[in-house]
């Protein structure tokens, strides 16, 4: 279920962006095959990692909990800064069409901070469950 919510969230994240025509033509030429590979390889990779993790003799509930938290939190971290990232991408493409696009620092700080907080809360929840 977590993998499905991740895939739906990422599809909504990518398909919900409105990019002007002059930037869109260059972007879609490169992103088409990569998105197909993403939609095929992500569930396959997640299934292999989950299967290998469940072979361990530890408790499977912990692994499933951390797996679910990780896969659900990624799209949730991206949605609040999606508009800012698209605006930054379009502005950079219009200013310098051939230059490399640099990521927005505030967006990166938000995503890293959010995922760090989610990880810490998930680990704390596991520790409270073990020692309470």
pLDDT in tens, 100-114: 888 889 999 999 999
Q: What is the DSSP string of 60-71?
A: HHHHHHHHHHHH
Query: For residue 55, which phi and psi values (nearest 5 degrees)?
Result: -75, -15
> Mind listing the pLDDT tens digit for each residue in 59-78?
778 878 888 898 889 889 99
Q: Note down the domain range covering 63.
A: 2-131
Question: Is 23 within 8 Å of 90 (Cβ atoms)?
Answer: yes
Rounded to whole angstroms, the maximal C-alpha distance in the chain is 58
Long-range contacts of 56-63 (CB under 8 A, 24+ apart): 62/126
């Amino acid at each position: 279920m977590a993998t499905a919510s991740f895939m739906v969230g990422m599809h909504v994240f990518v398909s919900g962006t409105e990019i002007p025509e002059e930037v869109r033509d260059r972007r879609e030429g490169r992103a088409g095959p990569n998105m197909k590979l993403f939609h095929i390889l992500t569930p396959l990779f997640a299934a292999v990692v989950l299967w290998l993790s469940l072979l361990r003799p530890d408790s499977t509930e912990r692994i499933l909990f951390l797996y679910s938290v990780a896969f659900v939190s990624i799209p949730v971290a991206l949605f609040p800064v999606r508009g800012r990232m698209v605006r930054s991408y379009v502005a950079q493409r219009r200013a310098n069409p051939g230059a490399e696009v640099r990521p927005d620092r505030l967006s990166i700080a938000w995503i890293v901070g959010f995922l760090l907080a989610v990880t810490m809360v998930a680990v704390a929840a596991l520790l409270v469950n073990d020692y309470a």
